[in-house]
């Protein structure tokens, strides 16, 4: 039976940025495990470069509860993750006419 897709509209989305090369543990499973310390994570999305097919230096972590997401922002923003400093902030919705895969902006 196929896995049911999460309803992203009901989730609280965070943007996680890393400066420079993404860390070794820059994958959905490891990010979900790290952020699950703050509450239930419903989805993790890591965009990939269209040129190299490698992970970009940012990801979206989506919480089921906004309070859990805000706690993650407080504790994880400017934290060290797998040897890299990450920035964590509330993701901003982009216009429905943007060219992105998701309705989240990168800023």
Confidence at residue 64, expressed as pLDDT on a 0 to 100 scale: 96
- 8-90 has which fold? Alpha-Beta Plaits (3.30.70)
Give me the residue spans of the domains in the chain.
Answer: 8-90
The tens-digit pLDDT sequence of the chain (107 residues) is 556 666 778 899 999 999 878 887 889 999 999 999 999 999 999 998 899 888 889 999 999 999 999 999 999 999 999 989 999 999 997 655 444 444 444 44
Confidence at residue 20, expressed as pLDDT on a 0 to 100 scale: 77
DSSP state letters, the chain = -PPPPP-GGGSEEEEEEESSSPPTT-SHHHHHHHHGGGS-EEEEE--B-TTT-PBPSEEEEEESSHHHHHHHHHHHTT-EETTEEEEEEEPPBPPTTSSSSSSB---
């Amino acid at each position: 039976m196929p896995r049911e897709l999460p309803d992203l509209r009901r989730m609280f989305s965070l943007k996680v940025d890393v400066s420079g090369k993404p860390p070794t543990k820059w994958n959905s499973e490891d990010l979900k495990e790290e952020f699950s310390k703050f509450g239930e994570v419903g989805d993790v999305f890591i965009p990939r470069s269209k040129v190299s097919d490698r992970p970009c230096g940012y990801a979206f972590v989506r919480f089921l509860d906004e309070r859990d997401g805000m706690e993650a922002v407080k504790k994880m923003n400017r934290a060290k993750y797998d040897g890299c400093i990450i920035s964590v902030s509330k993701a901003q919705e982009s216009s429905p006419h943007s060219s992105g895969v998701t309705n989240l902006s990168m800023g």
